[in-house]
C-alpha cells in the first residue's frame, strides 16, 4: 500500500508540472500572437509607387534679365513671338532646349523679339499642376528658370515628375519665396489659378484654332512648323516689313518738309 500511495503522489506531481508547463507555453504563444498583430489599422498613403530620381539640372538656363512674368525681352521689340506649350509635351521639351536658345541669342538679346510663353495644359493632371506652378513662379518674375527646371525633369506623361513635392523642390532650386509658392499650391488656390489659365487658353489659343504643342505665333500669325528655320524666316519677314514702313514714313516726312520750305 505505501508503494502504491508513493506512485500516486509521483503521478500527481508529474501531471501538475505538465499542466503548468502547457499553460505557460500557451500563454507565451498567445502573447506572441498579440504582439505580432497590432490593433490599429496601418496608415494608408497615396504616394507614387515608383520614387522619381533627384532633380536634374537644366542643360541650358534662360536669361533672367529683362523679364516680366511670362515674357522675355524688350517690351518695345517690333516682333512678338508667342509659344504655346504643355510641360508634359516631349516636343516642347525638345523645342525648349534646341530651338528656343537660338531665338533668344539671335533675336531677343538684340531687342528685335519679345518672347512670350503661353500655357496650353491639356495632357493630364500633372500638366495642370505644372501650369499652375509656372504661373506662380511668373508672379515672382522667376518663370524662365522654373520653366527650364520643369522641362529638364519631364519623365513621361503622368509619371510623377511633376508631383507636388518635386514642384516644391524646383521652387527652392530657383530661389522662389517658398511661403508664397506653397500658398498658391494649396488645392483651392491652385484650382482657381488653373481656371484662369484655362480661360485664357480658350479665349486665345482655341479661338485661333491652336490645339497642338508647341505652336509658335509670330505677331499674331500661327506658324505651320516650329523649327528654327521657319521661325527665323517669319521673324525676318516681319522685321523687313517694319523697316520698309519706317523708310516710307521717313520719305514722306522729308518730302513734306521740302514742300513746306
Asked whether residue 133 is assigned to any structural domain, the reply reads yes
**112 or 244, greater pLDDT:** 112
Query: Rounded distance, CA 217 to CA 83, Å?
Result: 6
CB 56 within 8 A of CB 152: yes
Asked whether residue 148 is assigned to any structural domain, the reply reads yes
**124 or 31, greater pLDDT:** 124
Instruction: Tell me which of 61-65, 117-121, 166-170, 232-236 is least confident.
Output: 61-65
Asked whether residue 83 is assigned to any structural domain, the reply reads yes
Sheet of 215-218: strand order equals: 67-68, 71-72, 113-119, 79-85, 215-218, 221-222
Whose cell is 506512485? That residue is 7
Asked whether residue 210 is assigned to any structural domain, the reply reads yes
Cβ density class 10-48: b for 16+ within 10 Å, e for less: eeeeeeeeeeeeeeeeeeeeeeeeeeeeeeeeeeeeeee
**241 or 247, greater pLDDT:** 241
Residue 7: the pLDDT is 52
CATH number of the domain that residue 148 is part of:
3.40.30.10
* Predicted confidence (pLDDT) per residue in 18-69, tens digit: 555 555 544 554 454 444 455 566 666 566 666 767 899 999 999 888 999 9
Residue 30: the pLDDT is 46
Asked whether residue 137 is assigned to any structural domain, the reply reads yes
Query: Rounded distance, CA 206 to CA 195, Å?
Result: 15
**48 or 121, greater pLDDT:** 121
Residue 15: the pLDDT is 53
* Number of domains comprising the chain: 1
3-state secondary structure of 71: strand
Query: Rounded distance, CA 24 to CA 20, Å?
Result: 6
Asked whether residue 51 is assigned to any structural domain, the reply reads no
Could you tell me the residue range of the domain that residue 75 belongs to? 67-242
Return the sign of the alpha-carbon dihedral for residues 149, 155, 156, 160: negative
Instruction: Tell me which of 7-21, 51-65, 104-118 is least confident.
Output: 7-21
Pairing of strands 113-119, 71-72: antiparallel
260: pLDDT confidence band, cut at 50, 70 and 90?
A: low
Asked whether residue 186 is assigned to any structural domain, the reply reads yes
Q: Which residues pair with 216 in a beta bridge?
A: 83
Asked whether residue 207 is assigned to any structural domain, the reply reads yes
In this prediction, what percent of the chain has a pLDDT beyond 70? Answer: 76
Whose cell is 515608383? That residue is 50
Query: Rounded distance, CA 204 to CA 198, Å?
Result: 10
3-state secondary structure of 241: helix
3-state secondary structure of 216: strand
Query: Rounded distance, CA 8 to CA 229, Å?
Result: 109
CB 91 within 8 A of CB 133: no
Whose cell is 508540472? That residue is 17
Backbone angles phi, psi at 118, to 5 degrees: -130, 130
Amino acid at each position: 500500500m505505501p508503494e502504491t500511495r508513493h506512485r500516486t503522489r509521483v503521478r500527481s506531481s508529474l501531471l501538475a508540472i505538465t499542466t503548468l508547463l502547457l499553460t505557460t507555453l500557451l500563454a507565451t504563444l498567445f502573447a506572441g500572437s498579440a504582439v505580432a498583430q497590432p490593433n490599429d489599422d496601418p496608415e494608408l498613403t497615396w504616394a507614387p509607387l515608383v520614387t522619381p530620381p533627384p532633380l536634374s539640372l537644366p542643360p541650358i538656363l534662360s536669361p533672367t534679365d529683362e523679364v516680366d512674368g511670362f515674357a522675355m525681352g524688350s517690351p518695345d521689340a517690333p516682333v512678338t513671338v508667342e509659344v504655346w506649350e504643355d510641360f508634359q509635351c516631349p516636343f516642347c521639351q525638345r523645342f525648349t532646349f534646341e530651338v528656343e536658345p537660338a531665338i533668344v541669342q539671335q533675336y531677343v538679346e538684340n531687342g528685335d523679339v519679345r518672347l512670350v510663353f503661353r500655357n496650353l495644359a491639356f495632357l493630364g493632371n500633372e500638366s495642370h499642376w505644372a501650369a499652375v506652378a509656372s504661373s506662380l513662379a511668373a508672379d515672382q518674375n522667376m518663370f524662365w528658370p522654373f520653366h527650364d527646371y520643369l522641362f529638364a525633369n519631364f519623365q513621361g506623361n503622368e509619371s510623377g515628375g511633376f508631383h507636388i513635392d518635386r514642384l516644391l523642390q524646383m521652387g527652392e532650386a530657383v530661389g522662389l519665396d517658398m511661403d508664397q509658392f506653397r500658398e498658391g499650391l494649396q488645392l483651392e488656390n491652385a484650382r482657381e489659378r488653373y481656371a484662369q489659365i484655362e480661360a485664357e487658353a480658350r479665349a486665345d489659343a482655341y479661338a485661333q484654332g491652336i490645339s497642338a504643342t508647341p505652336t509658335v505665333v509670330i505677331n499674331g500669325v500661327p506658324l505651320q512648323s516650329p523649327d528654327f528655320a521657319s521661325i527665323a524666316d517669319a521673324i525676318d519677314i516681319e522685321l523687313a516689313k517694319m523697316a520698309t514702313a519706317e523708310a516710307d514714313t521717313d520719305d514722306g516726312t522729308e518730302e513734306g518738309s521740302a514742300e513746306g520750305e
